[in-house]
Amino acid sequence: MKEINSIFEKSYTIIPDDTEKLINNILNQGKTKQEILLDIIIKRRIIEKKEINVIDGFIFSKLIAIRTKNINSKLKKFFPDGILRFKSSLKINYQPLQGLLLKGKFQEADKLTQKYLCELVKITTNSKREWLYFTDIQFLPIDDLFTLDLLWKVYSKGKFGFSVQKKLWTSTNCKWNKFWETIGWTNKGIMNRYPQEFIWTLEAPDGHLPLFNQLRGTQTLSSLFKCIQW
């Protein structure tokens, strides 16, 4: 029990390899340890209503894959739609995106994310968009933007998301060419071709997803990063 409790003593932004290995070892010890982990997640999210952490999403995804009767029954009872519960104030129902991310369908999730961003601008301005201009960023509701970012982080072990990208952009002194290379959008200075040259798994570099309309310049993404203050 001590090794299990040690997992939750930290607040993770990204799951270290040693923590991932520890969780996998615990899960491989059988249903007793699996149910202990599940009960802790239920306590954290349902009873104590703690703010969701990437560790919750990672363990939840692992438990979903186990598929034992008791585990499945509890998951359906307490988390019928996923680990993240949405605020009623949101402009869009993001459950389809949660479903895709939970299954690791990152390419489909990326397309849906871009669609949601355009829909949010349309809801706010009544102007239809197929992609975003930098002037559109101001119209993205913060709660919705936060939710999109959180979904990507929670179901990627903290590897993906707009806030992850902003952190990496800042770490490269906001140098776009260096940033593109760091997150794997370019190779030797040449922009990757969509979709075949992008990586749609957790093997991708940190910040690789979601994609953005970088081919239209840097103003829109720069405006998005400046909007993210969390």
Three-state secondary-structure class, residue 58: helix
At 213 the pLDDT is 72
Residue numbers in the chain where pLDDT is lower than 70: 214-216, 230
Give the pLDDT score at 86. 95
Nearest to 209 by CA among 104, 57, 106, 95: 106
Per-residue pLDDT, 111 = 96
- For residue 221, give both structure tokens: 């993404």
- The confidence score (pLDDT) of residue 99 equals 96
Rounded Cα–Cα distance for residues 96 and 157 (Å): 19
Asked if residue 191 lies in contact with residue 212, where contact means CB atoms within 8 angstroms, the answer is no
What pairs with residue 191 in β-bridges? 186
Half-sphere exposure of 133 (CA within 13 A, CB side): 7
- 118, exposed or middle or buried, with CB in 10 Å at 0-12, 13-18, 19+? middle
Domains and CATH numbers, the chain: 2-78 (no CATH), 95-227 (1.10.10.1770)
- CB burial string 127-138: b at 16+ within 10 A, e below: eebeebebebbe
Predicted local distance difference test score (pLDDT) of residue 214: 62
Q: Please report which residue ranges of the chain form alpha helices under DSSP H.
A: 2-7, 17-27, 31-42, 54-66, 69-78, 95-102, 106-125, 142-154, 162-171, 176-183, 219-227
Q: Are 148 and 87 in contact (CB under 8 A)?
A: no
Query: What is d(CA 73, CA 40) in angstroms, rounded to the nearest whole number?
Result: 16
pLDDT in tens, 79-127: 999 999 999 999 999 999 999 999 999 999 999 999 999 999 999 999 9
Phi-psi category of residue 52: left, alpha or beta, with phi > 0 → left and psi -120 to 50 → alpha: beta
Instruction: State pTM to two decimals.
Output: 0.95
